[in-house]
Amino acid sequence: GQNIDQPTEMTATEGAIVQINCTYQTSGFNGLFWYQQHAGEAPTFLSYNVLDGLEEKGRFSSFLSRSKGYSYLLLKELQMKDSASYLCAVSDSNYQLIWGAGTKLIIKP
Amino acid sequence: IAGITQAPTSQILAAGRRMTLRCTQDMRHNAMYWYRQDLGLGLRLIHYSNTAGTTGKGEVPDGYSVSRANTDDFPLTLASAVPSQTSVYFCASSVSGGYNEQFFGPGTRLTVL
């Protein structure tokens, strides 16, 4: 079967760095997405990785290792507004997104 | 309209009733999707459409139907609602297939009693 695993919840301190991991087992791979979802709102796109390595975009970076079925999202200089759920999704062989359950990130002052 | 809209925002529905959730996008995207989101579970794909005139079944299609008569609109119909269909429903669109980012509507919170 297809499976995306990510931690249910993480807590971090304002100004710090946090890494959210995602491991996947899917039928085929056409890229991995990270989305941010604030409570009661729609998911919004953060990043897309299809090749191995690190993609940096401001305070957010995303890493992919296809051989390990592994990705992480790195958030630097955490701000209170970063409190949200972070969703990992993989595009499978049919180009459909398979979603993880999301990681709820709590930022403390 | 800017982006993707959904209606209604929320709805309480009696079991057995028919309900259509509306979704409209103005980005001229080819692909559109319907997901449901339940606590503790990831987004689950109900139905999708890669282009106007075509539709396909996702992971959890039973009890739902869709149509794609034109590029902009992608309604989701519950023929006879059941309590297990209580969920938050998101419509999304993308330029084309699964290697393009998806843009999400604000969601419809549906409660079936």
Instruction: Reply yes or no on whether the pLDDT at A1 is more than 80.
Output: no
Q: Does B3 touch chain A (CB under 8 A)?
A: no
Q: Does B104 touch chain A (CB under 8 A)?
A: yes
Task: Please give the pLDDT value at position B99.
Answer: 72
Residue in A closest to B33 by C-alpha: A96
Q: Does A80 touch chain B (CB under 8 A)?
A: no
Q: Which of B37, B47, B88 to mutate to test the interface with A (most CBs of A within 10 A)?
A: B37
Phi, psi values for residue A89, rounded to 5°: -140, 140
Q: Which of A29, A97, A98, A104 to mutate to test the interface with B (most CBs of B within 10 A)?
A: A97
Instruction: Reply yes or no on whether the pLDDT at B2 is more than 80.
Output: no
Can you give chain A as a three-state secondary structure string?
Answer: CCEEECCCEEEEECCCCEEEEEEEECCCCCCEEEEEECCCCCCEEEEEECCCEEEEECCEEEEEECCCCEEEEEECCCCHHHCEEEEEEEECCCCCEEECCCEEEEEEC
Note which residues in 44-63 of chain A have CB less than 8 A from chain B: 44-45, 48, 50
Contacts of A98 in chain B (CB under 8 A): 42
* B42/A87 Cβ within 8 A: yes
Give me chain A's average pLDDT, please.
96
User: Encoding tokens for residue B6?
Assistant: 């959904």
Task: Please give the pLDDT value at position A2.
Answer: 84
Residue in A closest to B56 by C-alpha: A96
Q: How many Å lie between the alpha carbon of B106 and the closest alpha carbon of chain A?
A: 5
Task: Please give the pLDDT value at position B28.
Answer: 94
Contacts of A100 in chain B (CB under 8 A): 42
- Give me the mean pLDDT over the B27-42 stretch: 94
pLDDT in tens, A76-95: 999 999 999 999 999 998 88
Cα torsion through B93, B36, A96, B65, rounded to 10: -80
pLDDT in tens, A56-69: 999 999 999 999 99
Instruction: Reply yes or no on whether the pLDDT at B89 is more than 80.
Output: yes
Q: Measure CA B9 to chain center.
A: 13
pLDDT in tens, B46-70: 999 999 999 999 999 999 999 999 9
Task: Please give the pLDDT value at position A5.
Answer: 96
* B105/A42 Cβ within 8 A: yes
- Give me the mean pLDDT over the A91-109 stretch: 93
Task: Please give the pLDDT value at position B1.
Answer: 54
